[in-house]
Structure 1
Amino acid sequence: MTDIDELIVEMINNGLPLDKELINALKTVKIEDFVERGYEQFYLDNPVEFMKTSKGIVKNISAPHMLAILLHHLEIKMGQKVLLVGSKGGYLAAILDQLLGEDGIITIIEPHVEVLEYTRNTLEKYFSKGVIRVLSISDFDYNEDSAKEFDRVLITGAVREIPDFLNISSREGSFILGPFGGNIQQRLLKKEKQSEEWLDTDLGGVVFSPMDTRNSERNPLDPTVLAEGLEDSFAMISELIEIDEEILQSVEDLIQSLKELPRDIPLINENSSDEEIIENPVMDLMMSEMERLAPIWPIIEHLMSIELVNLFHSEDNDSFISGGHEDLVP
């Protein structure tokens, strides 16, 4: 039994929705053709890296079980027109191509230039049944309206709302599927347009990396990033434990204050001087609420991937954190 056969058996045994067409597609499209190394993890039902950007951001092809879930909810039929927002290295498009057949048309919008180039290169070596187009956002903008009519739209990375560039025409029975939410967790939503409004069907919680890789490249101590992270963290924490009203109010005030900070304030990092750290408005805000947030700060640290470390020595022995004055760094 081959690696892909074993994976398919395991997925079926785990109750995943694999029909005959998807099984054939998984056997036909080789993951090895879309990743340079480490593809063995894919056969263990794990995500697999297909590239790393020049800024060190890892781009993955989702684990097979997640791909199966997405394709199940996408309700694919032969000959449809499908839009993929985010390429997943071309692998997902190749799977869809097998499902859509000769009359199918797949359009990929890839926001990241390096990923766009990688995807074009990999798909050049793939012999498609139907049509596969790989476009940048600007390429897509220049398309005629008739080329923006799709039966299905699949967003493959986390977004807070439908991207502005996605000015598509809705056909009867068409819908958008994707992970909507912050960077910490999202909800897999099926969005159908009815009477100029989007009707959402919640298909459960998921965790995807951001659609726009620039979100991963932002400074964690940027006030906007911190505000978004705190909002996402507390939305998740509130679902799990009961939080004191005073703490909730402190967080809401802190988030609002972070959002109101000027966009041009200097950012701090591990190379900042003691004086720059002390005088930075972001640090001033964070430290003003730190004592009240102390009971749940370890959870926030974990969710936001921010650690409390001693950036500089302080003579302040009254700090609520033993060992001196400590601050936030990525």
Structure 2
Amino acid sequence: MDEYFERRRRMVEKLKEELNISDRVAEAMLKVPRHLFVPPEYRREAYNDYPLPIGYDQTISAPHMVAIMCELLDLKEGMKVLEIGTGSGYHAAVVAELVGKRGKVITVERIPELAKRAEKTLKELGYDNVIVVVGDGSEGYEKEAPYDRIYVTATAPDVPPPLIEQLKEGGKMVIPIGNFSQYLYLIEKKKGKIEKRNMGPVRFVPLIGKFGFKD
């Protein structure tokens, strides 16, 4: 484990240098063992800054993208957060560190096998403040709404209306939008209206679902 910690430390230091990420995000990423969220054959690559396959044509996002999204969300202790696209569960673990034990992360995954594996890893690592739900993420998860923050780890044709409805007044959402050309957007809900800011080009797998792309 010492070997992996040293690799993780170097990864975080690189992100601090290149992206000037905050101490809070850096500390959260230093705590989460990314190598335990990837298939065993990719563990040696876990702390390199690029996506890795996790099965079912899905990937674990590159560390720099996780850091960028966490910074844009401006996560605080005690917040309730909705994640769309659990994948391996890594991003949810980083967010769980940032919202703390008083906070809560609900994460929705459409592929049952990935959801089961992520839930197992998260529980084994003690992330009791993360709830994994199997379902259509493009519809959000109304049962726990409203949310202080929402983020989507797959690209959508547009912002799914249910996610706007489930976002608290004053809340923030980060979501990639587009098909061949994709851009990351920061969405803010102010007085019932939505403000969108383009944060630059990205590359994500498609969001499949009622308000996403068709399978």
TM range (shorter): 0.7 to 0.9
TM-score by length of 1: 0.57
**Structure-1 separation of matches of 2:20 and 2:29:** 13
- Taking only the aligned residue pairs, the percentage that are identical comes to 26
Structure 1, unpaired ranges of 5+: 219-330
* Mapping 1:317-328, distance limit 5 Å: none
Question: Given the alignment of the two structures, is residue 4 of structure 1 paired with residue 8 of structure 2, yes or no?
Answer: yes
Equivalent residues of 2:38, 2:46 under 8 A apart: no
Is the counterpart of residue 198 in structure 1 residue 194 in structure 2? yes
- What are the residue-to-residue correspondences of 1:224-303 with 2, within 5 Å? none
Q: 1:65 deviation in Å?
A: 1.0
TM-score norm. by structure 2 comes to 0.85
Could you tell me which amino acid in structure 1 is paired with residue 46 of structure 2?
A: F
Residue 35 (str. 1) matches residue 34 (str. 2): no
Aligned to 1:119: 118
Shift of residue 207 of structure 1? 1.2
Q: Distance in 2 between matches of 1:150 and 1:196?
A: 14
In 2: Cα distance, 1:142 partner to 1:178 partner: 16
Q: Which one of the candidate residues 46, 49, 61 is aligned to 2:50?
A: 46
Corresponding position of 1:211:
207
Tell me whether 1:169 sits opposite 2:166 in the alignment: yes
Shift of 1:197: 3.5
Name the one with the larger helix percent.
1
1:192 and 1:143 map into 2 onto residues whose CA distance is 19
Instruction: For structure 2, list consecutive stretches of 5 or more residues without a partner in the other structure.
Output: none
Q: How far apart, in 2, do the equivalents of 1:216 and 1:104 lie?
A: 31
The alignment partner of 2:98 has SS state of helix
Number of residue pairs the alignment of both structures matches: 208
* Distance in 2 separating the partners of 1:170 and 1:141: 10
2:133 to 123, 135, 151: 135
Counterpart of 2:152 in structure 1 is 155
Give a deviation string over 1:273-311, Cα, whole Å, max 9, x none: xxxxxxxxxxxxxxxxxxxxxxxxxxxxxxxxxxxxxxx
Distance 2:121 2:132 in 1: 11
Instruction: Quote the Cα distance in structure 2 between the aligned partners of 1:118 and 1:79.
Output: 26
**Change beyond 3 A, Cα 1:217–1:49:** farther
More strand by share: 2
Query: Alignment RMSD, CA only?
Result: 2.7
Structure 2 CA distance for aligned equivalents of residues 193 and 216 of structure 1? 24
SS at match of 1:88: coil
